Amino acid sequence: MSPPQGKLLLVPTPLDFGTRPGEALPDLRDILPLGVIRQAAGLSHWVAENARTARAFLKRVDAAVPLAQPLQAVSIVELPRPPKGRRVAAPLELGALLAPAVQGHDIGLVSEAGLPAVADPGAALVEAAHRLGIAVLALPGPSALLLALAASGLNGQSFAFVGYLPIEAGERAARIRELEALSRAAGQTQLMIETPYRNAALHGALLANLQPATRLSVSCGLTLADGWTRSATVGIWRSNPTALPADFPAVFALLAD
């Protein structure tokens, strides 16, 4: 008789990976529910966007709740990068990552975006799990997008995540104006992200292309002790600017009235 099939657990992480090299990070128990940490400590199979940061996360788990086995014995495999021109990896590649679940082992999926599969390539693995009939369980914890939206004071009843904006200045400006028009027509908050070292460039482009009455919110360093959110009209941002760090992830949101 074959063993019961394992599950794919979406394990949330703090949002502070890579933000404070060399500095002590917050106690994991101050960010994640203890029950989630206990479940993470018991897993021996993981899929991660980045194996190095996944190991760093498991070291923090071990400091709060001892791992069920030594870290060296824990299997951590990285999500395959899709071939050029494809949005996700091939189904066969993703299916192979789920083999431990077919054999009866639970698998943890972690992301550097807080909650896996939201603004994260792990969504493709979740899709593959459903296709194979593997149960998926999302554990509670921080999601950068939802924390930023909740703290923004913008419309939380209707919102859209639009990912990264174009890098080329002309295309980016056109996209910003397009999103502003969509937000005004639908009363919908538009959420976007950027690579930290381009935070200032995106922020400057938003201030240059949005109307003065449009509300703009920026959340930076979420789950860190000195993380912050500022929401104001574009006109106020222009008259009272705030510098954005180049080493902290940020979430940007706009709402045009």
Exposure string for 178-208, b = 16+ CB within 10 A, e = fewer: ebbeebeeeebbbbbbbebebbebbbebbbe
pTM passes above 0.75: yes
Question: What is the CATH number that goes with domain 144-255?
Answer: 3.30.950.10
- Looking at the structure, give the CATH architecture of the domain made up of residues 8-138: 3-Layer(aba) Sandwich (3.40)
Bridge partner list, 160? 190
Residues of the chain with CATH 3.40.1010.10: 8-138
Q: Both tokens of residue 75? A: 């299997």
Report CA-CA distances (Å) from 248 to 63, 113, 205, 208, 251: 24, 12, 18, 22, 10
Along the 257 residues of the chain, how does pLDDT read in single tens digits? 566 899 999 999 988 765 555 667 778 999 999 999 999 999 999 999 889 989 999 999 999 999 999 999 999 999 987 655 455 555 667 889 999 999 999 999 998 878 899 888 899 999 999 999 999 999 999 888 999 999 999 999 999 999 999 999 999 999 999 999 999 999 999 999 998 899 999 999 999 999 999 999 999 988 887 889 999 999 999 999 999 988 888 999 999 98
Residues of the chain with CATH 3.30.950.10: 144-255
